[in-house]
Amino acid sequence: MSLLTVRGLRAGYGPVEVLDGLDLDVDAGEVVVVLGANGAGKTTTLRALSGMIPTHGTITLDGTDVAGRRPEDLVRLGVAHVPQGRGTFGELDVVENLRVGGFTRPAAEVAEDIERWLEMFPRLGERRHQSAGSMSGGEQQMLAIARALMSRPRLLLLDEPSLGLAPLVTQDVFDRISGINRELGTAVLVVEQNANLALAVANRGYVLETGRIVASGTATELAADDTVRRAYLGV
Amino acid sequence: MQRVFDGLAAGAVYAILALAIVVIFRASGLLNFAQGELAMFTTFIAWTLLDAGIPWWAATLLAMVIGFVIGAVLYRLLIVRLGGPSGNPLAIVIVTIGLFLILNDGAGIIWGSNPAKVPRVFGDGRVEILGAGIAVQVIGLLGVLAVLVIGFGLLFQRTKLGLALRAVTANQESAALAGVKVMTTLMIGWGLAAGIGALAGTFTASQNLGVDANMMQVALIYAFAAATLGGFDSPLGAVVGGLIIGLVSELVVGYVDIIGPDLRLLPGFVLVLVVLLVRPQGLFGSARVARA
């Protein structure tokens, strides 16, 4: 059974409708990518899924209807969202950022997970008591992902992790995402413009254009698709 | 030495009020101009309770609890509707100024405009230290300040509530995504600030030996100066800033002839200006570092 089932999702900001009846699925343990250009509705999709904006349509998480739930409740149900621009707490240091990430978990688990992620991301381990705002974009992205993982999610939502990062750093971020998925079995829904990297780590993907899904398939199928190649792979 | 003690006495009152300002700033990221009037209003409540024969510490505690409730309710009913910290800051400033006027006039209507007498909570005793007299009241007040600074330090740095308050102030959206209940956290923050304001008001009244509707205004100017001097996000800074402002005002007025009592406000503010030129974040404030 699929972990996340979305049917006829519509959402927007005030009178402006951005998503125009979206259907998508994420199975447990899967990496799914949503490709789309600027303004296609990628960020809105994730904001709708984590309850940050009002929605119409059905959102089912592991059989439970979760449409209309607030972000703070969805975290407790196992959805973690790394927003665009990373959303770290600039004035808090690395460890404090992680503690906020573990807000919904018991204290003993939080302490254990902090050590685990600081070991997994050595760059963060070296900067335990440095404020997040003073770190580089790549470090902040790692911190944002570690922060999200602190809630021990079943589904990780990532909003353009490559944004503003150098190619090598982006590669590293995607390697991490892939590793986390393999080791923890966390399902990942990532929205991206960088189709090359995203399709390399994803099992399946969707193509989003002006609020609608216009193509879907396995990562291999999408990478071979002419329209996708022209629009998103630049070949 | 006598002037030092007098300065500390005045400074302690600014310090406790500055602490209230810092708490609300850290707990909500907002400056609440009605803070002082809220403190005055709850002080009148404490005085009413005192007048009814309740001992001062119980009256103060009750007023703090009532202040907490008023602060939380104000946040829930008023500030949330204006969008909270992510809303239009100007609208919130104007609303808090409106609250200022309502509370000020409201207190005048309910309790009259004549100052009501308040006793010193720690009694009228004085002790001799280094050849100068210091009121037991001042020592008591400094003790309360020390407890509050340590208490708030622990609250912000060591507790889950403190972490939630700081996370919400730093990034409300991310805090919600991490599972922090943003509205509840901010309600508690506003409640805490109003509660500590009630305490500050009670001590100000007890220092002035009276409570009246305008009692917080001059004190609040000093308190803002103290909070700015110490750094808006540091409880310790607020207290140190308050004591410094009190001391400097007292000493300069006492020893520099051309600055008489009419210019009491001046030295403190010159000091604030100088400190801010050198250290814009204040003495104990943390500089905001952000890399693009």
Q: Report ipTM (2 d.p.).
A: 0.90
Q: Which residue type occupies A23?
A: D
* Residue B153 reports pLDDT greater than 60: yes
Per-residue pLDDT of chain A (235 residues; tens, 9 = 90+): 689 999 999 999 888 889 999 999 999 999 999 999 888 999 999 999 999 999 999 999 999 999 999 999 999 999 999 999 888 999 899 999 999 999 999 999 999 999 999 999 999 999 999 999 999 999 999 999 999 999 999 999 999 999 989 999 999 999 999 999 999 999 999 999 888 889 999 999 999 999 999 999 999 999 888 878 877 766 5
Q: Which residues in chain B have Cβ-Cβ distances shorter than 8 Å to A148?
A: 177
Q: Which residue has the higher pLDDT, A110 or B74?
A: A110
Best residue in B174, B183, B289 for a mutation probing chain A (most A CBs within 10 Å)? B174
At the fourth CATH level, the homologous superfamily of domain A1-78+155-235 is: P-loop containing nucleotide triphosphate hydrolases (3.40.50.300)
**Model pLDDT, residue B126:** 74
Query: How sure is the predictor about B40, in pLDDT bands with cuts at 50, 70 and 90?
Result: confident
CA atoms of A55 and A53, how far apart (whole Å): 6
Q: Which residue has the higher pLDDT, B91 or B184?
A: B184
Contact B290 A70 (CB under 8 A): no
| Min Cα separation A102/chain B (Å) | 7
Q: Which of A120-134, B148-162, B164-178, B247-261 has the lowest mean pLDDT?
A: B247-261
Q: Which residue type occupies A142?
A: M
CA atoms of B55 and B65, how far apart (whole Å): 16
**Model pLDDT, residue B36:** 79
Q: Which residue has the higher pLDDT, A104 or B18?
A: A104
Residue A196 has, within 13 A of its CA and on its CB side, a CA count of: 8
**Model pLDDT, residue A199:** 93
Contact A103 B163 (CB under 8 A): yes
B285, two tokens: 């404030």
Q: Which of B24-33, B128-137, B147-156 has the lowest mean pLDDT?
A: B24-33
CA atoms of B214 and B222, how far apart (whole Å): 14
DSSP B202-241: HHHHHHHTEE-TTHHHHHHHHHHHHHHHH-TT-HHHHHHH
B77, two tokens: 């009913």
* Residue B286 reports pLDDT greater than 90: no
Domain ranges of chain A: 1-78+155-235, 86-152
DSSP B70-113: HHHHHIIIIIGGGTGGGS-HHHHHHHHHHHHHHHHHHHHHHH-S
Contact B174 A88 (CB under 8 A): yes
Query: What is the average pLDDT across B191-214?
Result: 81
**Model pLDDT, residue B287:** 63
CB environment A184-220: b (16+ within 10 A), e (fewer): eebbbbbbbebbbbbbebbbbbbbbbebebebbeebe
Contact B160 A52 (CB under 8 A): no
User: Helices (DSSP H) in B29-55: which residue ranges?
Assistant: 35-51
The residue in chain A having the minimum alpha-carbon distance to the alpha carbon of residue B287 is: A91
**Model pLDDT, residue B277:** 85
Query: How sure is the predictor about B91, in pLDDT bands with cuts at 50, 70 and 90?
Result: confident
CA atoms of A49 and A24, how far apart (whole Å): 11
Residue A59 near residue A46, CB atoms below 8 Å: no
CA atoms of B218 and B229, how far apart (whole Å): 17
**CB-CB: which of A52, A70, A100 is closest to B178?**
A100
Q: In what order do the strands lie in the sheet with A16-27?
A: A16-27, A2-13, A55-61, A64-65
CA atoms of A109 and A35, how far apart (whole Å): 35
Number of CB pairs, chain A paired with chain B, less than 8 A apart: 85
Contact B173 A52 (CB under 8 A): yes
Query: How sure is the predictor about B205, in pLDDT bands with cuts at 50, 70 and 90?
Result: confident
B274, two tokens: 């100088």
Phi first, then psi, for residue A229 (nearest 5°) are -60, -45
Residue A189 near residue A34, CB atoms below 8 Å: yes
**Model pLDDT, residue B202:** 85
**Model pLDDT, residue B29:** 62
* Residue B35 reports pLDDT greater than 60: yes
Contact A134 B173 (CB under 8 A): no
**Model pLDDT, residue B292:** 45
**CB-CB: which of B160, B170, B177 is closest to A90?**
B170
**Model pLDDT, residue A136:** 92
Q: Which residues in chain B have Cβ-Cβ distances shorter than 8 Å to A75?
A: 177-179
Q: Which residues in chain B have Cβ-Cβ distances shorter than 8 Å to A50?
A: 177
CATH among 3.40.50, 1.10.3470, 1.10.8, 2.30.29 for B2-278: 1.10.3470
* Residue B263 reports pLDDT greater than 80: no
